[in-house]
């Protein structure tokens, strides 16, 4: 039976954020604090009783970008029958009620925070260790997201949501803030909001209030600001909290106060132009309001959190060109927006699936629901027909053609196409269909993409059944299929030896032979290269297996300590780019080796196979 990477709930709130940090291929060492990951000195034993130390304030991480209105850009900021040893990524939902007064016994501890206990797929209370809390928070804050790998993002989400101990050196609420802030930049607005809800309102810090505002705007839920407003105004002078007073007054049917606050904001210049008009629009959504506001986007040159959140909450269409000013994670926020139509959410669904925010099952559910709407037509019907045929066609050839047509469609989010013009975001949607197709030679040139589809959702044992068919192919289809099967399956059924690897390298037509280098790096990290051949292949491809840089030393040190969450974070640090072809091969060596060492071998294999599918 297909084993599922345990269902760590893909948590819904109403979330979306606005943080589109430009994704750049930067050296991971550049964001690691000096000395991070070095062995901790053993504490000296006192020779006599020591007085209790005087408490000192907990240092706080670097501040958020200033301003949340016009000054803050939205910049980054089931298995197939009987097979599969991984599960589909995240299915199911958790809804958490927040903002209520709790008796002491029901209060949340700040010492161990997160919804994912071990039986729900969490990585354990020691996921991030017990030291260097502020340094780890700074790494989270500096990590540019979204990252290259869908599977690495899925793992990082799991780590950030794990019910883990708060490490020393940082306040529990600030630790939640940094985890949530990174989730937001990954496109995980709902999960960021759920994590924040694990902190009682009266324990919020200034940092957590700032991130909570971001998560509520990203969730297109301005009403969620209201329970936080009384204390938030004491902690923050951000203009967004001032404007929230008008919105919340209107939602309470106090239109006089709402109007007075708006007038004061206009006089003082707290909000201007589109930001002020969107606040007016939100105020107009309150009961008893007679305020009608028309939104004009002329002259607006970028999307911000404030603009995304209020426009989406009031069903104001955002011009497509503004999405080009932010990262793909903003599209992922769009995918959950409850006020938008299915057609409006289509680009967001595509982006969310490519990033790993949506599982293949969740994306397929969206398409099924859209196609069943009474007025479904055009794209909805086309996609519905393709998916019905892919899953229920009478003949394998018919089903494979439908899958081919689905992954070859124009990309609704204008995201990048992969090798062969294949949209990687389409593959998880048809993964289960691919897993139930009988391996046949008729698949021909589509074979590698059927294999890639299965591995995109963890159907690794199903993919292994295609080994004999793949070996019978020729050219690039044979090479890419073999590379994915060699790296992605639990026990490879294809030959892996120096001569076969060198054949792949010799036939590799990618720039500078990068895919061949990726293959050697990942096979070495997975310990799948015969010992007698390992040194020569690493030397020939220029991969130094010694952890010489700060990042390499840090990820291997975290692996040696068994800190799965820290390893997952440093995996993301090593994949800070939107372009798989910009990932250095040596990063993949340390990533796969570290994951394997901490018992996350399935993720190591899936990331390796993803590299074989998406690079080149």
Q: Concatenated DSSP letters for 420-459?
A: GG--GGGTGGGHHHHHTSPP-GGGGGGHHHHHHHHHHTT-
Mean pLDDT, all residues of the chain:
84
Predicted confidence (pLDDT) per residue in 185-212, tens digit = 999 999 999 999 999 988 999 999 999 9
Nearest to 153 by CA among 91, 196, 89, 197: 89
- 23 in Cβ contact with 330 (< 8 Å): no
Residues of the chain with pLDDT > 70: what percent?
Answer: 83
Residue 165 has phi, psi (to 5 degrees) of -70, 140
**Is pLDDT larger for residue 36 or for residue 547?**
547
Coil, strand, or helix at residue 515? helix
Token pair of 583, please?
């990932």
pLDDT at res. 80: 28
Residue 594: which pLDDT band, with cuts at 50, 70 and 90?
A: very high
Predicted confidence (pLDDT) per residue in 321-348, tens digit = 999 999 999 999 999 998 999 999 999 9
- 146 in Cβ contact with 23 (< 8 Å): yes
Radius of gyration of the chain (CA): 25
pLDDT at res. 177: 96
Tokens 């032979």, residue located: 513
Q: Concatenated DSSP letters for 183-230?
A: HHHTT-HHHHHHHHTTS-GGG--HHHHHHHHHHHHHTT-GGGGGGGHH
- 353 in Cβ contact with 336 (< 8 Å): no
Predicted confidence (pLDDT) per residue in 62-85, tens digit = 444 333 453 333 433 222 223 333
In this model, does residue 316 exceed pLDDT 70? yes
pLDDT at res. 489: 96
Burial of 206 (0-12, 13-18, 19+ CB in 10 A): middle
pLDDT at res. 107: 76
Query: What is the Cα–Cα distance from 20 to 415, expressed in whole angstroms?
Result: 15
Lowest mean pLDDT among 56-65, 224-233, 234-243, 422-431: 56-65
User: What's the predicted TM-score (pTM) here?
Assistant: 0.86
Query: What is the Cα–Cα distance from 389 to 117, expressed in whole angstroms?
Result: 39
Predicted confidence (pLDDT) per residue in 125-180, tens digit = 999 999 999 999 999 999 999 999 999 999 999 999 999 999 999 999 999 999 99
pLDDT at res. 69: 52
Q: Can you name the residues that pair with 165 across neighbouring β-strands? A: 112
| Other residues' Cβ atoms within 10 Å of the Cβ of residue 413 | 22
Predicted confidence (pLDDT) per residue in 525-536, tens digit = 999 999 999 999
Burial of 249 (0-12, 13-18, 19+ CB in 10 A): buried
Query: What is the Cα–Cα distance from 528 to 77, expressed in whole angstroms?
Result: 38
Q: Can you name the residues that pair with 428 across neighbouring β-strands? A: none
Predicted confidence (pLDDT) per residue in 290-301, tens digit = 778 899 999 999
């Amino acid at each position: 039976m297909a084993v599922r990477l345990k269902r760590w709930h893909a948590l819904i709130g109403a979330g979306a954020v606005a943080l589109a940090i430009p994704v750049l291929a930067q050296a991971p060492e550049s964001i690691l604090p000096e000395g991070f990951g070095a062995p901790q000195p053993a504490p000296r034993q006192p020779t006599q009783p020591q007085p209790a130390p005087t408490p000192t304030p907990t240092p706080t991480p670097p501040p958020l970008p200033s301003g949340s209105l016009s000054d803050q850009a939205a910049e980054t900021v089931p298995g197939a029958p009987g097979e599969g040893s991984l599960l589909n990524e995240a299915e199911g939902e958790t809804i958490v009620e927040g903002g209520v007064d709790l008796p002491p016994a029901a209060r949340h501890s700040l010492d161990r925070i997160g919804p994912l206990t071990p039986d729900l797929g969490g990585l354990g209370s020691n996921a991030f260790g017990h030291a260097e809390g502020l340094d780890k928070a700074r790494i989270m804050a500096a990590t540019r997201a979204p990252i290259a790998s869908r599977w690495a993002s899925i793992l990082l989400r799991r780590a950030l949501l794990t019910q883990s101990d708060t490490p020393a050196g940082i306040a529990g609420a600030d630790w939640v803030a940094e985890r949530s802030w990174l989730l937001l930049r990954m496109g995980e607005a709902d999960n960021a909001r759920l994590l924040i809800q694990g902190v009682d309102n009266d324990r919020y810090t200034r940092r957590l209030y700032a991130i909570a505002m971001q998560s509520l705007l990203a969730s297109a839920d301005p009403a969620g600001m209201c329970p936080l407003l009384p204390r938030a105004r004491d902690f923050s002078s951000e203009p967004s909290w001032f404007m929230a007073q008008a919105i919340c007054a209107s939602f309470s049917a106090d239109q006089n106060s709402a109007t007075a606050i708006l007038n004061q904001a206009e006089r003082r210049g707290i909000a201007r132009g589109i930001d002020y008009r969107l606040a007016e629009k939100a105020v107009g959504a309150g009961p008893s309001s007679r305020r009608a506001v028309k939104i004009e986007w002329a002259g607006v040159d970028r999307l911000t959190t404030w603009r995304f959140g209020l426009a989406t909450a009031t069903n104001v269409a955002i011009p497509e060109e503004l999405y080009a000013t932010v990262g793909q994670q903003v599209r992922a926020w769009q995918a959950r927006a409850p006020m938008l139509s299915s057609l409006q959410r289509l680009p967001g669904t595509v982006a969310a699936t490519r990033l790993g925010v949506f599982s293949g099952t969740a994306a397929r559910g969206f398409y099924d629901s859209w196609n069943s709407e009474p007025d479904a037509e055009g794209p909805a019907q086309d996609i519905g027909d393709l998916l019905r045929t892919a899953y229920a066609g009478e003949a394998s050839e018919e089903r494979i053609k439908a899958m081919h047509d689905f992954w070859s469609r124009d990309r609704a989010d204008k995201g990048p196409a992969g090798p062969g013009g294949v949209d990687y975001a389409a593959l998880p949607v048809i993964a289960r269909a691919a897993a139930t197709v009988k391996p046949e030679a008729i698949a021909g040139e589509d074979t590698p993409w059927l294999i890639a589809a299965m591995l995109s959702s963890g159907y690794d044992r199903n993919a292994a059944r295609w080994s004999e068919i793949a070996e019978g192919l020729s050219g690039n289809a044979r090479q890419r299929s073999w590379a994915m099967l060699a790296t992605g399956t639990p026990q490879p059924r294809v030959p892996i030896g120096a001569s076969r690897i060198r054949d792949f390298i010799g036939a590799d037509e990618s720039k500078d032979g990068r895919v061949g280098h990726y293959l050697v790096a990942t096979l070495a990290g997975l310990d799948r290269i015969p010992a007698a051949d390992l040194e020569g292949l690493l030397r020939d491809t220029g991969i130094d297996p010694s952890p010489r840089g700060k990042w390499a030393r840090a990820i291997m040190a975290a692996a040696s300590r068994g800190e799965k969450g820290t390893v997952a974070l440093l995996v993301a640090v090593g994949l800070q780019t939107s372009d798989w072809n910009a990932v250095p091969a040596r990063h993949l060596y340390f990533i796969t080796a570290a994951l394997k060492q901490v018992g996350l071998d399935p993720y190591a294999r899936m990331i390796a196979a993803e590299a074989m599918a998406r690079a080149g």
